[in-house]
Amino acid sequence: MKSNSQPIKLFLVLAFSCTSLLVSLTPVLAKPTLSSSLSDAYGGLRLRSNTKTTLAQATTFNQPPLPSGPPPGGRVRGGAKRGGCPLTKPDLTALVDFTDDKANSVINVWGQTTVEHPSWFFYVPYTKDLPYEVEFVLQDQDSNDIYRKAIALPDKAGVMRVSLPTTAPALALDKQYRWFFTINCDKEKDSPPTFVNGVIKRVELNPAAVKELQTAEPLKRYAIYAQNGIWYEALTTLAQLRQNNPQDAALQAEWRNLLNSIGLKDIAAESILSDKP
């Protein structure tokens, strides 16, 4: 009996040592190398683990000066009860930068883009079960229609995206275009529709910003566009990031920060509706 005790003790020591080693290694093997943020389809890049650190320093949108010539004017809110539409809160709203010239009682709604076929975002308070006619129109400086499209109301109230398709004429550089988003709630069309409208201008980014964009991740792209006063790409990039990472609290905070900064605090908490039918 005594001769067998040493091998048995040696086996137990080795077994215990191996078990302890596996237990100590388990947390290391299970530790993720990336954050829990979802993979982002925009640009094929993933948000990295320092996302929240970056977003903690809120990006500021640098509003560019108004274009030369007559003030663009426009409407950022639809207007209560206009066109026979029921009163809602929030009202029909264009998610676009604007300035309020209180001295002259004029609101100027305008923004810059760098792409030929940009996207617009609107908060729409009405749903598809209502028989309202909705239309998006884009015109050149001579009020000629560039694009006109009937828009289907969404399943639920929220922020919807309207994109200029590649089949439509491209926006020319340094040209201004006026857009309209209208909702006609009056079947007889005896009343004017409720609408929002503003001016968009396509510009070129400075070479340094263009070079930086070539290697930047989506979150950094958003910051570059915002810092250079490019409203439409800043908003589109951030909206896509939010849709691809719906549980990311930092992105939600940045979205609120952006809309709050232009006076659209009441829209910041509204859902961004999916582009997919």
CATH 3.40.50.300 fits 42-267, yes or no: no
User: Residue 188: its pLDDT value, please?
Assistant: 75
In this model, does residue 13 exceed pLDDT 50?
A: no
What is the rounded average pLDDT for all residues in the chain?
Answer: 82
> Please, is 164 exposed, middle or buried when counting C-beta atoms within 10 Å of its C-beta (0-12, 13-18, 19+)?
buried
Amino acid 180: pLDDT: 98
User: Can you give the pLDDT at residue 80?
Assistant: 56
Instruction: Find the Cα–Cα–Cα–Cα dihedral 99, 102, 105, 107, rounded to 10°.
Output: 10
pLDDT at 133 over 60: yes
pLDDT digits (tens, 9 = 90+) for 215-263: 999 999 999 999 999 999 999 999 999 999 999 999 999 999 999 999 9
Specify which residues 111 forms β-bridges with.
200
User: 161, 94, 153, 149: which is closest to 126 by C-alpha?
Assistant: 153
pLDDT of residue 103: 77
Evaluate if residue 196 carries a pLDDT over 70.
yes
Long-range contacts of 21-24 (CB under 8 A, 24+ apart): none
Question: Counting Cβ atoms within 10 Å, is residue 177 exposed (0-12), middle (13-18) or buried (19+)?
Answer: buried
- For the cut 70, the answer to whether the pLDDT of residue 51 exceeds it is no
Domain ranges of the chain: 42-267
Q: Which of 199, 194, 190, 151 is nearest to 171 (CA)?
A: 199
Q: Is 62 exposed, middle or buried (0-12, 13-18, 19+ CB in 10 A)?
A: exposed
Using the predicted structure, report yes or no on whether residue 166 has a pLDDT greater than 60: yes
Predicted local confidence at residue 30, as pLDDT = 34
pLDDT tens digits, residue range 64-114? Answer: 999 888 899 999 999 756 667 888 999 999 999 999 887 778 899 999 999
Tell me the average pLDDT across 172-195: 91
As a whole-number percent, the residues of the chain with pLDDT over 70 amount to 77
Answer yes or no: is pLDDT of 38 > 50.
no
Nearest to 243 by CA among 161, 135, 155: 161
pTM exceeds cut of 0.75: yes
pLDDT at 44: 39
Q: What does the pLDDT look like over 137-153, one tens digit per residue?
A: 999 999 999 999 999 99
> What is d(CA 61, CA 40) in angstroms, rounded to the nearest whole number?
23
Beta strands (DSSP E) in the chain are 93-94, 98-101, 106-113, 119-124, 133-139, 145-150, 158-163, 176-184, 194-202
